[in-house]
Amino acid sequence: MPRHRETSVPQSAGTASPYDVARWCAGNGWPVHPLAPGRKTPAANCPTCRDEPHRPQDCPCPSEGRWCHGFHAATTRPELLDAWWGKHPTLGVGVSCGPAGLLVLDIDAHCAEVPDRNRLLPGIPIHKSVNLAGLASGFDTLALLAALRGQRNPAEDDSTLRVRTPSGGLHIWYRAPDKGPRYRSSVGSSPKVALAWQVDIRATGGYIVTPATRTPAGTYSPVGPARLPALLPDWLAAELQRTGHSHLPQPTPVPALRRTPPRPARQRAHRLLEPLLAQVEACAAATEGTAFTEKLNRAAYTAGGLIASGHLTDSEARDLLTAAADTARPHRNRHSLAVIASALSAGASRPLHLKGRP
């Protein structure tokens, strides 16, 4: 992709306005999209798009000056930056990593049960002689991976932009090689594609919250001297290739996944899915004891069957499921995405053929 002359993050990163940050990103050729005020999740779709689900590629909103479908609407167009952040200054800023040519290591520091040592670094057996006492977060697993490879810990790489998150995590920004492979996003707890436990990858199919974005929990703040992403180190590129990040999955060769289903089919699919989505959204009434994961899994499994039978598109189903999950558990985005991906895949093996399909 053609690159713009890079500019550094505003020097007053702690007080920079979202509009200034959006312009900085666009000046670097990084497409941006609005985040909900005070949150790290995309701003909601317009009412029309919520009532008439469709593929992000078919959405007329961006060309008409509106945002929709999260990172799918990301842009560098100055007139849209003015229309979005100029008129709605409290919106946050997200960068669509794939089109921006960025790969970001998202280190988590959540309190969670540490898995078996053979699941800490997928594909790398850790000998019993390695002392893992004190290992508790993604900071530790990334440091362990770097040590095993004899490389510098990326969390300490002061040559690239690093951003401290309000929850105590760290975003490490890198530039993917212009002529290299396309990388895909993943979560560190994924049983299929992961770099390290509690280390997520933000790349194609994902977005990253920008420096200076503010939430009630705090501000995303740059640390160290670097204010621009450095080139992805060769050893990390090799690790990402080893773990399957450098090969995007091919679309399932089912025509229904690539074209919008007929309106009657979509309507029947929505009638089946809506009660399940409503159960997920109802979990917002309490922070625990609502069987949120079970209900989200059931809805996504059903959606997978509807996708496989051609009643819904994949992107439409993911948008509906993600919106419901964000309503119920706005602070568990990564967990929700992992549940959705797994259940959609499982549901796709059992197509749902609804009566009356044209």
Structure-model confidence comparison of residues 254 and 69, the more confident one: 69
Rounded distance between C-alpha atoms, residue 66 and residue 22, angstroms: 16
Residue 104's closest CA among 234, 229, 198, 239? 229
Measured between its terminal Cα atoms, the distance across the chain in Å is 42
Mean pLDDT of the chain: 82
Mean pLDDT of 222-249: 89
- The reply to whether the predicted model has a pTM over 0.75 is no
Rounded distance between C-alpha atoms, residue 170 and residue 186, angstroms: 16
Give the pLDDT band (50/70/90) at residue 259.
Answer: very low
- pLDDT of 225 over the 70 cut: yes
Domain boundaries, the chain: 1-249, 255-347
12, 17, 20, 22: CA torsion to nearest 10: 120
Share of the chain above pLDDT 90, in %: 32
Rounded distance between C-alpha atoms, residue 170 and residue 223, angstroms: 9
Coil, strand or helix at 283: helix
Contact between 192 and 122 under an 8 Å Cβ cutoff? The reply is no
Q: What is the DSSP letter of 170?
A: E
Rounded distance between C-alpha atoms, residue 159 and residue 172, angstroms: 10
Q: Between β-strands 162-164 and 92-96, what pairing exists: parallel, antiparallel or unpaired?
A: unpaired
Give 156-192 pLDDT, tens digit per residue: 999 999 999 998 999 999 999 888 888 989 887 777 7
Q: Which positions ≥6 away from 54 have C-beta within 8 Å?
A: 260, 316
Give the pLDDT band (50/70/90) at residue 358.
Answer: very low
Size (the chain), residues: 358
- pLDDT of 7 over the 60 cut: no
Sheet strands side by side (includes 32-35): 32-35, 92-96, 207-209
Mean pLDDT of 312-324: 83
Q: Between β-strands 102-107 and 214-215, what pairing exists: parallel, antiparallel or unpaired?
A: unpaired
Contact between 172 and 160 under an 8 Å Cβ cutoff? The reply is yes
| Integer CA distances (angstroms), 256 to 44, 231, 271, 305, in order | 26, 39, 19, 12
Total Cβ atoms within 10 A of residue 57: 10
Give the pLDDT band (50/70/90) at residue 255.
Answer: very low
- pLDDT of 260 over the 90 cut: no
Give 76-101 pLDDT, tens digit per residue: 989 889 988 988 889 999 999 999 99
Amino acid, res. 107: I
Share of the chain above pLDDT 70, in %: 84
Contact between 183 and 243 under an 8 Å Cβ cutoff? The reply is no
Rounded distance between C-alpha atoms, residue 178 and residue 143, angstroms: 27
Q: Which positions ≥6 away from 148 have C-beta within 8 Å?
A: 121, 124
Query: H or E segment at 215?
Result: strand 214-215
